[in-house]
Structure 1
Amino acid sequence: MSLSTSITEELLFSYFNGRATLLQKQWVEKWKEDPANEEIFYATLHKWENEHLQYQVDVNKAIEKFNVGLSANRPSAGRSSVGQKEKDADSSKWKPWLIAASLLIILGVNSYLFRDTIFYKAYSTSFGKTGLINLADGSKVVLNANSSLKIPRFGFFNNARKVYLKGEACFSVVHTPDNSRFVVQTDSMFNIEVLGTEFSVFTRPRQTKIMLLKGKIKVHYSPEKKQASVLTLSPGDLLTYSKKQEKPHIMKVGNPESSVAWMQNRFVFNDTSLSEILNIINENYGLTVELRGKDLIDKTLSGSFKAKSGDEFLESISQVLDLNMIRQNDHVILFNN
């Protein structure tokens, strides 16, 4: 049996937590010497670290100990004896140190809890709004509505430019003289690595989509209970994945620019189901749409239109599909004429 087929994610997890046998350790160390396996090794390591945090803070317990320490040093009511006064005098010498130590503990806990705020700067967009972010390396990111991007507050380090995305964004990444990697990390099982290129990423709970416009990208795919892998995309490739799929699907798209038409407030549909359009309305504008009519869910839409707001989007949909609309705050009802 070859090493490439025997090294599984389960075995790598055992290697990381120190439970692998001596023979298994030798297998893994021999296997990871091959440059072709390096990406899989580190992608699996990243997944294992996320699932096995090395430090868990019990804030309630820390505060309780702090309060108990303070209570123990409070003077008792009434008159005290000479011996008690001596004890109080001795203990008073330690009070400043105890308080200082307690404060340091609390500061340490707070630093851990708020480390993201300390080390990262977050950008976000509200419903119906997009935003342009100029990164320190010259790269540009356009955030779609209801999305957020987290970047290192003190710049990129360790020969890697890593950002964290929730929602949808279009990236225009510059190539640096030192060939520094640019990594987009998502909450899903996909991370994107590039040197310099243009691409869009859609990462929401229902689906992940990665569209490559220019250049070349590597997509690190780390599914649960399966071996991690690296997928390579070429210009025009669209990667899609949802929980209903067994694995990611890659297809060639004839007009890849349509995937980022939202940057000009334009929406392009190609035989798109009404249920998919309702997801877009909910994710981009925060509106919940109710369909009244058995055949409505089977309707599809092809074409494009511009919309700068949720109202304009709904108006266009209603006209094209010949539907009536009733809006009650953030709840919309669509029904046949």
Structure 2
Amino acid sequence: MSANPLVTRELLFSYFTGQATVLQKQLIEKWVAESPLHEEYFYTCLHEWETQNLLFKADVESAITQFHDRFTDQATFLGESQAAQIPARKDKKTAGWKIVLVAASVLFLFLFGAWHVREEVLYKSYKTSYGEISQIRLRDGSQVVLNANSVLQVPRFGFGGRSRNVRLRGEAKFSVVHTPDDKRFVVMTDSVFQVEVLGTAFNLSARKSGTKVVLQEGRVKVLYKGKPSQPATTLIMAPGDLIKVDKRQKKLRVKRVQNPENYSAWRDGRFVFENTSLNEIKDLLHDNYGLTVVLDGTDVPTMSVSGSFQARSANELLQALSEILNIHIIRQDDQVLLVGKR
């Protein structure tokens, strides 16, 4: 039960529907953070609201018609000779299966919508677009620099009090403050990789091509699972350690690097390559700028780059690569072709 007469069940329902004012939102968020009992009441009301408000209203008859049209289109696609062999009658068994399929689809949409709303309520999301870098200060004083095309999710309630858990999809530089009660700071990337720290500075990249963490200061514990069902392997990192997981090969590699700060040079619009292959740079251009890069020729895919390059845009980086490697760059919108000069 709410201990604050201003925070009522009706006000919380308004909050869930997005109709609360800015002051009301601040009141609710402060109230929830005051006590675990308040947080429990908040979730109780959230569950009640979710069960009372269907996010999708299904037109079953329309859905059945759409399923029928799909079956008809499929018969037409098979050809006139094959379509003629398909019975045209609708018996009760066929109608029953259609209803089951429609019901399953409606249930999926409802659960998906409910989960999406829950995520929006429970987590504040910081997002960057292609080519954008954003600086974030968390409530515990930790600093995060979010690289391009990345998402950081931070719990709206309880962060810094009972736990310091965040989610990352993309790349970010973390500078985590130490708390008097030694509360750990956890960055979760997916079901098989997470990073735990107390107070430290590190760069973490969690892209489709793989996950990579480089420690600059302090100590970090990495938990890695080859598969979600496997027990986690624990690795303790020291400054200068790099741990990389290639998602294509499902392998974890650990090595020492001389200049760990180079791995977060992107904060200053600088790229530092150390015998980096063009295939890796191709992934970087896709992750940071949304470009689809094609390497043309027999020599181009085997080329590698070393050095430091100042580039504030994709075009500046492409121009630098063209001059260093003596290759042609052909770009049309988001499509890029790298061709060796003959």
Shared fold (TM-score, shorter chain, > 0.5):
yes
**Counterpart check, 1:286 vs 2:293:** no
Change in CA separation of 1:317 and 1:158 when aligned onto 2, cut-off 3 Å: same
Give me the identity figure in percent: 46
Q: Select 1:133's aligned residue among 132, 136, 139.
A: 136
Match of 1:271 in 2: 275
CA apart distance, 1:295: 1.0
Match of 2:239 in 1: 235
Distance 2:157 2:147 in 1: 25
Distance 2:154 2:230 in 1: 29
Distance 1:131 1:61 in 2: 33
Match of 1:178 in 2: 181
CA apart distance, 1:178: 1.5
Match of 1:84 in 2: none
**Counterpart check, 1:319 vs 2:323:** yes
**Counterpart check, 1:189 vs 2:188:** no
Match of 1:262 in 2: 266
Query: Structure 1 unaligned runs (5+)?
Result: 1-56, 68-106
CA deviation string 1:197-248 (max 9, x = no partner): 0011111121110111100011111232432221111111000111344542
Q: Select 2:125's aligned residue among 114, 117, 122.
A: 122
Change in CA separation of 1:312 and 1:61 when aligned onto 2, cut-off 3 Å: closer
Q: Select 1:330's aligned residue among 326, 334, 337.
A: 334
**Matched residue pairs, number?**
242
CA apart distance, 1:60: 8.8
1:89-168 → structure 2 map (5 Å cutoff): 112-156=115-159, 159-168=162-171
Secondary structure in structure 2 of the residue aligned to 1:160: coil
Query: RMSD in angstroms over aligned alpha carbons?
Result: 2.7
Tell me, yes or no, if the aligned pair for 2:226 and 2:250 is still in contact at 8 Å: no
CA deviation string 1:11-43 (max 9, x = no partner): xxxxxxxxxxxxxxxxxxxxxxxxxxxxxxxxx
Match of 1:299 in 2: 303
CA deviation string 1:100-154 (max 9, x = no partner): xxxxxxx999654411101110001111111000001100000111001000123
Query: Structure 2 unaligned runs (5+)?
Result: 1-50, 62-109
Tell me, yes or no, if the aligned pair for 1:289 and 1:332 is still in contact at 8 Å: yes
Amino acid across the alignment from 1:248: L
Match of 2:97 in 1: none
Change in CA separation of 1:135 and 1:62 when aligned onto 2, cut-off 3 Å: closer
Change in CA separation of 1:270 and 1:64 when aligned onto 2, cut-off 3 Å: closer
Distance 2:58 2:263 in 1: 53
Distance 2:55 2:147 in 1: 41
Tell me, yes or no, if the aligned pair for 1:190 and 1:222 is still in contact at 8 Å: yes
Tell me, yes or no, if the aligned pair for 2:299 and 2:340 is still in contact at 8 Å: no
1:44-59 → structure 2 map (5 Å cutoff): none
Tell me, yes or no, if the aligned pair for 1:271 and 1:302 is still in contact at 8 Å: yes
Secondary structure in structure 2 of the residue aligned to 1:114: helix
**After TM superposition, what 4+ stretches of structure 1 lie above 2 angstroms from structure 2?**
59-67, 107-113, 243-247
Distance 1:199 1:229 in 2: 20
Distance 2:131 2:220 in 1: 29
Change in CA separation of 1:61 and 1:236 when aligned onto 2, cut-off 3 Å: closer
CA apart distance, 1:65: 11
Amino acid across the alignment from 1:237: D
> When the two structures are superposed, what TM-score results if normalisation uses the length of structure 1?
0.66
Distance 1:332 1:179 in 2: 48
CA apart distance, 1:270: 1.0
Q: Which has the larger radius of gyration?
A: 1
Structure with bigger RCO (C-alpha 8 Å, 6+ apart): 1
Secondary structure in structure 2 of the residue aligned to 1:122: strand
Amino acid across the alignment from 1:252: R
